[in-house]
């Protein structure tokens, strides 16, 4: 497994042969991206696109760079994992779920913290638009979904 953090890119032959997973969700507060990546560390042929920067955005130029990076990587990823964290009502995550998750037939994973304030909105919208998606309530279950899709087995 390899992790590519915004705003970096990866251009290796290995990356061309690996499945890619974009981590769509809030990039402030709880570092759910790191927790999910740790749960997937044994998945060898996986490139994870992590939009959470190691250094915070400082101005409009970096904000634009972030938005462009997010757009390109969520568009180009083979798989997208959406996670909705408690206490973080990020409108961009909802926008991305609607644009990329519910409007296409691409493989998606959707997870909601059991205490997420808009949990029912995410559940109902997903059920209506993509009844094929099984929503999970833990990052462990999400990691198992990814592993099952890629290898046919859970941890």
**CATH label of the domain that carries residue 19:** 3.40.50.450
Residue 17's pLDDT is 66
Torsion from C-alpha of 144, 107, 50, 58, nearest 10 degrees: -140
Phi-psi region of 138 (alpha: psi -120 to 50; beta: other; left: phi over 0): beta
pLDDT in tens, 50-103: 999 887 778 899 899 999 999 999 999 999 999 999 998 888 899 999 998 887
Mean pLDDT of the chain: 89
Give the domain range for residue 114: 2-151
The predicted model scores a pTM of: 0.90
pLDDT band at 143 (very low <50, low <70, confident <90, very high): very high
How many domains does one find in the chain? Answer: 1
Average pLDDT estimate for 122-133: 94
What Å distances lie between residue 99 and 37, 55, 80, 93, CA to CA?
A: 24, 27, 12, 10
């Amino acid at each position: 497994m390899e992790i590519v953090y915004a705003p970096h890119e990866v251009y290796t032959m290995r990356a061309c042969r690996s499945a890619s997973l974009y981590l769509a969700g809030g990039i402030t507060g709880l570092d759910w991206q790191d927790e999910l990546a740790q749960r997937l560390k044994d998945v060898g042929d996986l490139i994870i696109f992590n939009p959470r920067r190691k250094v915070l955005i400082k101005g409009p130029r970096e904000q634009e760079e972030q938005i462009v990076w997010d757009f390109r990587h969520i568009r180009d990823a083979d798989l997208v994992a959406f996670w909705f964290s408690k206490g973080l009502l990020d409108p961009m995550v909802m926008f991305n779920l609607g644009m990329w998750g519910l409007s296409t037939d691409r493989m998606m994973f959707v997870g909601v913290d059991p205490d997420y304030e808009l949990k029912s909105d995410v559940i109902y919208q997903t059920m209506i638009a993509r009844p094929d998606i099984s929503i999970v309530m833990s990052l462990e279950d999400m990691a198992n979904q990814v592993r099952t899709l890629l290898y046919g087995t859970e941890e």
